[in-house]
Chain A
Amino acid sequence: MELLKRTIRREFWYVLFLIPGVLLFTLAVIVPLITGGRYSFTNWDGISRKLTYIGWDNYVHAVRDPDMWTALGNTFKYAIILTILVNILALLFALLLDSYLPLKNLFRTVFFLPSIISVVLAGFVWSYNYSQGFPKLLAYFGLDVTSPLGNPDYALFGLIVIAVWQGIGSPMIIYIAGLQGIPGELLESARIDGAGAFHVLRNVTLPLLAPSITINMLLVLTGSLKVFDLVLVTTNGGPGFATEVITTFVYKTAFSSFKAGYGMALSMIFFVILVIVTVVQVSIFRKREVDL
């Protein structure tokens, strides 16, 4: 009886400990998610008090909206290219910095530095470098270039370059940590067996690094699908529709075009896509990982 009372009292405290976290989470995530879901079935303009339910109309409209498909296409193009580039470069830097290199802590700081600067700043600095800095530098070599951000064909790549610059830091750290977790004896014995540097990398290092690759691919891909600030402060979706991504499209639809109901439907579609991408990616990569 005494024991039961004590257990109950303990559980009471644990539940009490949970309450603040659950309340905050409910306020910031659950309530908005539910009301957002409700709005997506209305033709609400975002201001008026009147809500008219229109069933699945917003979703039907979204599927037929060529702008949404363009925005989604841009988003995936941006995210996939960025994920591949960031991971290749971060892994390369990690491999170089993991070797016996002088000043490697200094280099690590330098490569990480851009990721701690706000996107607003990075966007501003890069826009200026694109329009003035690089053209003037390349003019010394007799090259004539203009800012990629002003050209619909290159604007998205211009953004990707900025995002790579800002995005290398964390994945690089994760790869370095992963490399340090690989037992030296394994690499040593592979070398003694006569494997060259490339073979060691391909057959020993990379398979053992699989957990780091999984997490980095996942973090960079989901993060870049959600890109928003960078687009808003540099190109604002332009020129034309060339860099309009799904988040800026949702933002403009909901806040500037007074189609809040439609905007919410778009964001719900985006949410579902994000969940599918995450689940698919996790299940693909988990299968390929090697246990030590």
Chain B
Amino acid sequence: MKGTRIIVLGVVALMAIVFLFPLYVALLMALKTAKQSFDSFYALPPSLNFSNFVHAWETSKYPTALTNSLIITLLSVTLIIVVSALSGYAVARGNKPFYNFVFLLFLSGIMVPFQVTMLPLYKLGKSLHLINNHWGIMLIYGGFGVQTGVLFFTGFVRGISREIEEAARIDGCSTPGIFVRIVMPLLKPVTATVFVLNVLYIWNDFLIPLLYLQDKHYRTIPLQQYFFFGQYSSDLNLAFAYAVMGMIPIVVFFLFMQRFIIKGIAAGAIKG
């Protein structure tokens, strides 16, 4: 029995090394000069050398991209949470055929692939002046995020007993008052789920920024990286330094929020 356990541990550890290997190569490249990489590809750098990072920071507009990513992600996720919580609550408590119809509408929207709506959405964005600013892309993410958001919030509110709300209503509390004072504080767990899942998706999204943020000043990190890699394809060490810099924010987010992310994914599976 102990023997099998050691074998299992060995297999898992080997798999873990295989999984980390591509990232290890990226880090190795980022910390070496072109000549060091050429001389010996897998040798560790002779000394810790962050000049690639400094150079990448100066040439890449990294701070702009980071700010854009932060603004867009936070705005969109806030919008998604507020709108989905309101709609989810109405669907769960309304409980009439009409609300169920709206709920099914949101659900069936999940099946529509972005490539179908991409071109009309681009045209629509252009005519409404939603291209090349933070607001337009936020509305688009809002429209996509609300579909799964409502699913989560409706499911969660249905699990909350109505009794407290009824008692508050008898005491003269209005519907918005009940929502703000009683329901909202109870929504924390599901809000965390919707928050982490949408942050991961929006932060890393590539296609919508590619279409909606064509102005250099609005590029997000993945978009800026796409162009940077194309531009610096000859100086790979620099490009890798930039790649590592791009990974850092989301990896930090992941490590801090891991518990919520894992819970969120597991919860998502049950809802589906």
Contacts and interface: CB of A to CB of B under 8 A. Distances in A.
B106 A32 contact: no
Contacts of B8: 96, 99, 101
Contact of A129 (B22, B79, B87, B119): B22
Interface of B: 5, 8-9, 11-13, 15-16, 19-23, 25-26, 29, 41-42, 79, 82-84, 86-87, 89-91, 93-94, 99, 102, 105-106, 109, 111-121, 123-124, 139-140, 142-144, 146-147, 150, 174-176, 179, 200, 203-204, 206-207, 221-223, 225-226, 229, 236, 239-240, 243, 246-247, 250-251, 253-255, 258, 261-262, 265-266, 269, 272
9 contacts: A17-B87, A18-B94, A20-B83, A46-B119, A101-B9, A120-B229, A228-B207, A271-B111, A271-B116
A113 B146 CA distance: 26
Nearest to A261: B119
A68 to B, nearest CB: 13
Interface in A9-36: 9-11, 13-15, 17-18, 20-22, 24-33, 35-36
Contacts of A178: 269
A29 B143 contact: yes
A61 B23 CA distance: 45
Interface of A: 9-11, 13-15, 17-18, 20-22, 24-33, 35-36, 39, 46, 93, 96-97, 99-102, 107-114, 116-121, 124-126, 128-129, 132-133, 136-137, 165, 170, 173-174, 176-178, 212, 215-216, 218-219, 222, 226, 228-229, 232-233, 246-247, 250-251, 254-255, 260, 263-264, 267-268, 270-271, 274-275, 278
A21 B269 contact: no
B112 A29 contact: yes
Given A25-B147, A128-B25, A14 B119 contact: no
Nearest to B9: A101
Contact of B86 (A18, A251, A278): A18
A113 B111 contact: no
A199 to B, nearest CB: 17
Task: State the main secondary structure of chain B at its contact with A.
Answer: helix
A176 B42 CA distance: 35
A28 B239 CA distance: 35
A113 B89 CA distance: 34
Contact of A136 (B9, B42, B269): B42
A14 B99 contact: yes
Q: Which 9 A-B pairs have the closest CB atoms?
A: A28-B143, A21-B87, A32-B117, A177-B266, A13-B175, A32-B120, A118-B204, A17-B90, A14-B90
